[in-house]
Amino acid sequence: MSKDAKSKEPEVQEVEQRKIEKPKEKYYRMKFHAKSNPNDEDDVKLSVNGETVVIERQKEVVLPKRYKVCAENARSPQFRQLPNQPRKLVGEVITFPFDLLGDGTEDEYLDMKRSGTKATKEAVERDGSNA
């Protein structure tokens, strides 16, 4: 093996290792607002790449950035209609408004996830610990 080949080997390994390591995702403490009208869903449901979380409103939760971005981008059109006129789009409303309470950690998120979602807790209460 040539001297140049030996000197490039550690560089190749370092590049390959960087490809394998994913950057750490940021986590946030959030609290979703109460329903603003009776037609709103009781819980906040956010889905990213087929992974769904169901979040109880008005409870502090820790979520990865991908769900924060999903909540920020969930918007509904706001219309106004006057008598004898077609309805007019006047803006957008955030579907799931929330308060950002600060940074969280991956461990906090995993602990919350491990302790179960609202649906899991309800199933355990209803059916016992074998649910």
| pLDDT grade for 114, boundaries at 50, 70 and 90 | confident
Domain that holds residue 43: 23-117
Across all residues in the chain, what is the average pLDDT? 82
Q: Is the pTM of this model over 0.75?
A: no
Cα radius of gyration rounded to whole Å, the chain:
23
Query: Would 12 be classed as within a structural domain?
Result: no
Query: Would 104 be classed as within a structural domain?
Result: yes
Report the 10 Å Cβ neighbour count for 46: 20
Pick the more confident residue, 75 or 7: 75
**At residue 16, does pLDDT exceed 80?**
no
Query: Would 10 be classed as within a structural domain?
Result: no
**At residue 118, does pLDDT exceed 80?**
no
| pLDDT grade for 40, boundaries at 50, 70 and 90 | confident
The total number of structural domains that make up the chain: 1
Residues 87-109 have a mean pLDDT of 93
Percent of the chain exceeding pLDDT 90 equals 50
Grouping H, G, I as helix, E, B as strand and the rest as coil, residue 59 is: coil
Query: Would 6 be classed as within a structural domain?
Result: no
Per-residue pLDDT tens digits for 74-86: 998 999 999 999 9
Pick the more confident residue, 113 or 64: 64
